[in-house]
Amino acid sequence: MTPSETPPTYLSRRLRFSSAHRYHHPDLSDEENRQVFGACNNPYGHGHNYELEVTVTGQVDPVTGMVMNLVDLDRILQTEIVKRFDHRFINHEVEGFERTVPTTENLAIAIWRLLEDKLPEHCELHRVRLYEDPDLYVDCYGERR
């Protein structure tokens, strides 16, 4: 069976990182920020133990039997996500969040953008699922082509 004859296959990897953030937009007054974001606008921030699922899709390679080598995927996730977000105050330490509220939605979009061009040509990013806590998660599927 050639790679083009195999059905598309989805490979997911889960990882965890811990970060702090504050919901605050610089274009709003302090009072407006408190009204919009409530307790999440605490000036000292608050933290989460995030859980991230990254799903890639592609054809299974007939030689390796893999959509993507997990060693390569783990290296990309470590470099692009864990080193950037783990044990950071996102508003102050992560590029791109100086004026962007670090909601779970915005974090998922940022993670998508960090990963989409880092994968090998033979597979593509299918989904980023980011859990802020066990009862709240966001799915990002990027731009539909």
pLDDT one-digit tens code per residue, 102-122: 999 999 999 999 999 999 999
- Clarify whether 121 is annotated catalytic: no
Q: Residue 110 burial by CB count (10 A; 0-12/13-18/19+): exposed, middle or buried?
A: buried
Q: What integer pLDDT is reported at residue 6 of this predicted model?
A: 81
Out of 25, 40, 80, 126, which one is annotated catalytic?
A: 40
User: How is the beta sheet containing 9-21 ordered, strand by strand?
Assistant: 88-89, 9-21, 46-58, 123-133, 136-140
Instruction: Respond yes or no: is residue 40 known to be catalytic.
Output: yes
Please give the pLDDT value at position 1.
53
102 Cβ contact list (under 8 Å, min separation 6): 21, 22, 23, 90, 91, 94
Cα 139 from Cα 137, distance rounded (Å): 7
Could you list the beta-strand ranges (E) of the chain. 9-21, 46-58, 88-89, 123-133, 136-140
Which residues does residue 130 pair with via DSSP β-bridges, in sequence order?
A: 52, 138
What's residue 5's pLDDT?
A: 74
Domains in the chain: boundaries: 3-140
pLDDT above 70: percentage of residues in the chain: 95
Under the banding of pLDDT at 50, 70 and 90, the label for residue 142 is confident
What's the mean pLDDT when you consider all of the chain?
94
Active-site residue, from 21, 24, 48, 132: 132
3-class DSSP state for residue 9?
strand
The residue written with tokens 């407006």 in the block is 32
- CATH 3.30.479.10 matches 3-140: yes
Q: Is the pLDDT of residue 94 over 50?
A: yes
**Residue range 134-145: mean pLDDT, rounded:** 86
Tell me the C-alpha distance between 47 and 65, whole Å: 39
- Is 50 exceeded by the pLDDT of residue 86? yes
The upper half-sphere exposure of residue 125, i.e. CA atoms within 13 Å in the direction of its Cβ, equals: 25
CA dist., res. 41 & res. 112, Å (int): 25
Annotated catalytic residue: which of 46, 87, 92, 122?
Answer: 87
Is pTM beyond 0.85? Reply is yes
Confidence of residue 2 (pLDDT cuts 50, 70, 90): low
pLDDT score, position 19: 98
